[in-house]
Structure formats: structure tokens, C-alpha cells
Structure 1
């Protein structure tokens, strides 16, 4: 056993020396390291700036909301409020869909607005084809570097004739394959070092959850190990190095570039999601059918008024101990919020079905599984965006209903229906409203979204390892 390990290490050491003597390989590794450092520093700086900017704006709009003068509560309903989505620290590693979904919600009565001001929509068109982030470098560029400098690992021995010499000297074919794999995996490990160091720093300083950083590290280690296996496997199957290079480049182009862009288009065609304008038209149509909550005499609220009069045992709304107009506003807001929730849930359900189709293709395209794992661990996937919009909507509903309740309790109905009469209440009422606080997903929820993608990557890793092990034993016959 010791002799076998010594042979494997010796073969790995010789392959490693060959890689380090290759100036192109050293230059490529250096260039990738520089790109990783630039991407990491740039992403961290952008995130730091964006987080500080959002916190500053959130504080400003909170102060403006509380600084409103004495006025009617319903005017405050229409004044509205902005809420900003806080950035997950790991979003610097993989921004995911954050740049496309928007990060700001404007909250107001009778409406559920969508998130706006996505970074991609406000920057150059080039950003839409992939920003330079650590995730992009490891997903796209690192495998390409492994292909260029590892494709001839075994084929080179065959072409030069040294493979037959090694086999004739009693070196097992699997030992040769394991040695080549060990060297190429070490080369991949050097590519990962800057990213792993950055993740470790984020976790050590408490800026990011350690489990999220660990899942990202494990996912990308498995990704590059799988590519190392694939490169060695193709190299031992091809008679010449250039043949292995052509095959691996074709695989890289299809698996990393083509299919990850084609599969989402296929899912979008299979499950259509209405556009924002189509949804707005449908919401407005159904909203008008609910009745006008600003008009207490609207026929749509006849049954509501009858039930209310019966509850209080009075014959006229003027005899109610509370403001009937405010109660109509609360009822209208309740009904409209339920309507908005139905449309939002339908949209997210369609998007979830699209993601299910993409997840199905992940068994054939491991890049999709890696992307799902990376975004889920970084807190930049659809599930986290939905969490933000739903929390924002709950805050909006509670804020509006709190203001409507002030109208019910603090403003008299007769004064509210007198033309030209101003019914102001003290601004102190809304100055005590709590500020919006976004709650991150529980750790168990993050793990639940990461595990399926991780299982797919693990299945690919095990399959490639088993195939390399089995075919490695036939290297002598292939030679």
C-alpha cells in the first residue's frame, strides 16, 4: 500500500512540475488569481457601498414619514413609504438574481407595487451577460483553465510513448490516472484559494453565516473536482491531446455556456409568466370590481354596512360609535390585499414551476445545480426575493390598516363627510409606527434549498469518479 501511494505521489509530483514549468499554465493561473482578487474586491466594495446607501436612504425616508405634520390619517396612507432590501454579505460572492429583481418597494394604500431599481436595468447592456464576480470566475473561467492545461495529462504520455514504458515497469494504470488527477486537483485548489480565503474572512468577522460560506466552499470545491475528473477521463480516452482538447472545449461550451442559457428560455416557454403590464391590467380590473373604498355609499359595501349596523344595534351609520368611513377603508384594504396576494402568489407559483423544470435539467447540466446552490447559499435566489416582497407587503398592510384604524377612532364620521372641513390629527400617532425590519430566512430553510442542488453535484462527482476508476484500469489496453 505504501509503495502504491509513493508511486501515485511521484507521478503527481512529476505532473505538477510539468504544469509549473509551463509558462502558459503559470500565467493563466496568475491571471485567474488576479481576476478573482479584482472580482472579490470590486464586489465587496460595491456591496459595502450599496448597503451603506440603502441604510442611509431607509433612515431618511423613515425620518420623513415620521416628520409629517398634523393631517388626516388617509392622507398619510397615500403619502406612502419606501423600504429597501438589505444585502446578504455573501451576495458579494454571487449576486444571483438581485440585479434583475429590484431592491426597493414603494408601499401605499390600495396598491401592491413591484420591486424596482434593479442594478442591471440601470447599467450598461454588457452587465446583463455576466458581471465579473467570484462566482462567475469559478463557474465559467476556472473550468476552462483546467481544460487548457489538463487535457493532455494522460494523452501526452500516450503520444510520447512513456505510457507503455511506465506500464512495462509495473506501474498500474490506475496509479497513473490517480497521479494525474491528484496534480490537476492541486492546480484547481490554487484557483480556489482566493475565494476560500474571502469566504473564511467573511465568516470569521461575523459578516456572513459560517454555514452559508461553508456550503459555498463545498459546492465550488466539488465543482472543480468534478471538472478535474472530467478532464482526466477524456484525456485517458482520447488518443491525442488535441482530440481531448476539442472534446473538452465542446463540453465546456455546451455545459457552461449554451445550456444554462437555453434551459431557462425553455422553462419560460413551457410556463408563461404574465408581464408586469398584463398583471397590472388584471389587478386593476378585479380591484374596481371590489368597489370604491373611498365612497361609503358604494353599493358593493351594502352587506358590510348592514352587518355593521346589526353588530352595533343602530339604524344609521351616523349613530355608530366609530367612523364608518374608516371602517369601509379597512374593509376595502382587506379585500384588495387578498386580491393582490392572489396575483402575487400566482406569479411566484409560475416562477417556482419554471425553477422545477430547470432543476429537472440539472441532472443533465450540473452547472444549473451549481448556480442554484450558489444563489441559495448566498441569499440571492428567488426564495429570498419572495421573502422580501412578502415581508414588505405584510408591513404595508399593517401600516395602512393602522392608519385606517386612526381614522376609525380619532376622526368623527360627520366631520369626515362634511365638505371642506379639515380633520387633522396629531402627527404623534404615526411617529410611533415601527420601522421595517427584514428578517433573513432561517438556517434550516437555506439548507433545505441547498441540499437538492448539492445532491445533484455529488451524484455527478461520484459518477465521474466511478467512471474514471473503471476506465482507468483499461488504460493499458487503450494504449
Structure 2
């Protein structure tokens, strides 16, 4: 079983180009700000201290403060709490569903009625395979029930960062560079969903092979051979195109462009100040 993660060459070149252009704009913004500070300062010492203070505040302090606020406003459960919630939900049921044993009995009765038999031994299939898949389906249901709340809070944290980019160009460039490199949250969740879908389908085929391919009903001793795995497709993941990444981080891009317009608009004002001095 192979795992293939790929990036098409045109997409890689486009991402590299976008990455480079945005960094050029970012450095232009920073350079302009520091030149303005230097031009308006009364001494080189004041210029250095002011520039250093701006860099520490906007590149170190403010990002950490905003991240802390986002985590405080939209706090996430710990990994242990999340796993415990899934374990409890799977055992006891969610949204009014029966517990694990109750669900097992209902599914058994449904299967017996479907095949018009009275006991497990009369079934022409291995019920353990079907039962395990039924359990997997319910586990997936429970997972998404709790994961949607976590994803909602993460998205809210991301929104805080996106709008904060309008007051801090460092944040806008950070978000854009991560998006172009494919390391931001949106790329992570896209890969996660593809991998999860592949995993679920892989387990489903294994369980159904046990259910319908285990003629001797060996239950948990059932094993599949190389021929079965040859029928399984390899996992292949293709990273989204550049347009997708830009759309996900459009506010960060707008923020960077707004900062560019702002520093360019200051040119006449700073020039006038210098001329007066």
C-alpha cells in the first residue's frame, strides 16, 4: 500500500511566484515604514529605538497577544477530553441513540429479518464483519458530531487572525506564506479529510470482505491475502491549486495590499515634513 502526495509543477511554480511577490511587497512595506520613522526622527538613536520597538511589537508581541486572545475567546478541548467524549458517545450513544449493546441487538435483529432466519448460525454471512462495520459507521457519526464543534472554534480563531492582519502586516504575510507553502490550517484539514475518507473506505472493504468472503465464518481469525490488497487503490493526494489557497486567505491578501496603499499614501506627507525640516 503506497501513499502519494503530489504537487503539480505548474502549481508549484505559481505558488513560488506568488510567495516571492508577496514577500517583496511585505519588505517594501517594512522598508517604507522604517524609512519614514528615520526621516521623522530627530536623531539616529531615536530612529533606531522606535524602529526596534515597532518590530518587537508588531512581529513578536502583537501576534502572541492575538493568538492568546483567540485561544481564550474560542478555547478548544484537550486531546484527552476530545477522545474521552468520543469514547463515551460511542459507548452510551448520542442524540438519543441507544447504547452500544442496544445498537448491536437492533442491528442483529435487522440482519436476521433481512435474511429471514432466526439465529446467527443460520446466516449465510459472517455477521461479525457486518457488526464491526456498523460500529465503524457509528464511530464516524460520533466523531463528526464532536469534531464539527472543534472545527467551528478553530475557524473562529482563524477569523480573528485574518482580521488582525489589517492592523499588523506581519500577520498577513504569515498567513499568506503558510498558504502558499501548503502548511496552513486549510491545507491541513483538506489533507485530513481526504486521508480520513480513504481510511474509512479501506476499513469498510476489509469488514465487508470478512462478512461476505468468510464462508467458514472464522470470525476474528479471518485473514485476507495479497490478492485482496492488490484490489485496493493506493492513497493519492493532490494539493489544491493556487487559486484555492488565495481564496482561503483573501483577507490576508487584502490586508497586505491595504498596507501597501497606506505606506505609499504617506510619501507626500513625509516628503513635506522633510522639506519643512
Is this a same-fold pair by TM over 0.5?
yes
Alignment of 1:279-290 (within 5 A): 279-290=82-93
| 1:342 is aligned to 2:141 | no
| Residues 474, 428 of structure 1: alpha-carbon distance in 2 compared, 3 angstrom cutoff | same
Q: Normalising to structure 1: TM-score of the pair?
A: 0.52
| Residues 423, 385 of structure 1: alpha-carbon distance in 2 compared, 3 angstrom cutoff | closer
| 1:470 is aligned to 2:273 | no
CA drift of 1:207 comes to: 8.2
Aligned residue in 2 for 1:356: 159
Distance 1:215 1:362 in 2: 18
**SS at the partner of 1:209?**
helix
Q: Normalising to structure 2: TM-score of the pair?
A: 0.87
CA drift of 1:242 comes to: 2.2
Alignment of 1:62-101 (within 5 A): 62=1, 86=5
CA drift of 1:404 comes to: 0.5
**SS at the partner of 1:322?**
coil
Contact map agreement 1:272 1:350 (CA 8 A) in 2: yes
- 1:323-361 per-residue CA deviation (whole Å, 9 max, x = no partner) reads 222211111111111212333333232222111112221
Distance 1:222 1:424 in 2: 59
Distance 1:279 1:433 in 2: 31
Aligned residue in 1 for 2:228: 429
Contact map agreement 1:88 1:378 (CA 8 A) in 2: no
Distance 1:264 1:425 in 2: 49
Contact map agreement 2:37 2:51 (CA 8 A) in 1: yes
Alignment of 1:85-164 (within 5 A): 86=5
Aligned residue in 2 for 1:266: 69
Two-structure CA RMSD over aligned residues (Å): 2.7
- 1:99-127 per-residue CA deviation (whole Å, 9 max, x = no partner) reads xxxxxxxxxxxxxxxxxxxxxxxxxxxxx
Distance 2:259 2:35 in 1: 15
Distance 1:243 1:88 in 2: 48
Aligned residue in 1 for 2:32: 229
- 1:111-159 per-residue CA deviation (whole Å, 9 max, x = no partner) reads xxxxxxxxxxxxxxxxxxxxxxxxxxxxxxxxxxxxxxxxxxxxxxxxx
| Residues 251, 423 of structure 1: alpha-carbon distance in 2 compared, 3 angstrom cutoff | closer
Q: Which is bigger in relative contact order (C-alpha 8 A, separation at least 6)?
A: 2
- 1:264-309 per-residue CA deviation (whole Å, 9 max, x = no partner) reads 1221112111111111211111122259xxxxx9432232233333
Unmatched runs of 5 consecutive residues or more in structure 1: 1-61, 64-82, 90-205, 292-296
- 1:9-54 per-residue CA deviation (whole Å, 9 max, x = no partner) reads xxxxxxxxxxxxxxxxxxxxxxxxxxxxxxxxxxxxxxxxxxxxxx
1:395 to 198, 201, 205: 198
1:331 to 104, 115, 134: 134
Aligned residue in 1 for 2:60: 257
Contact map agreement 1:88 1:379 (CA 8 A) in 2: no
Contact map agreement 2:70 2:160 (CA 8 A) in 1: yes
Aligned residue in 2 for 1:448: 247
Distance 1:383 1:221 in 2: 24
- 1:406-456 per-residue CA deviation (whole Å, 9 max, x = no partner) reads 111111475539xxxx54554422343222212212333112123321110
CA drift of 1:86 comes to: 4.4
Distance 1:451 1:276 in 2: 30
Distance 1:352 1:364 in 2: 20
Distance 1:299 1:231 in 2: 69
| Residues 424, 397 of structure 1: alpha-carbon distance in 2 compared, 3 angstrom cutoff | closer
Aligned residue in 2 for 1:218: 21
**SS at the partner of 1:434?**
coil
Unmatched runs of 5 consecutive residues or more in structure 2: 95-99
| Residues 290, 413 of structure 1: alpha-carbon distance in 2 compared, 3 angstrom cutoff | farther
| 1:383 is aligned to 2:182 | no
| Residues 384, 425 of structure 1: alpha-carbon distance in 2 compared, 3 angstrom cutoff | closer
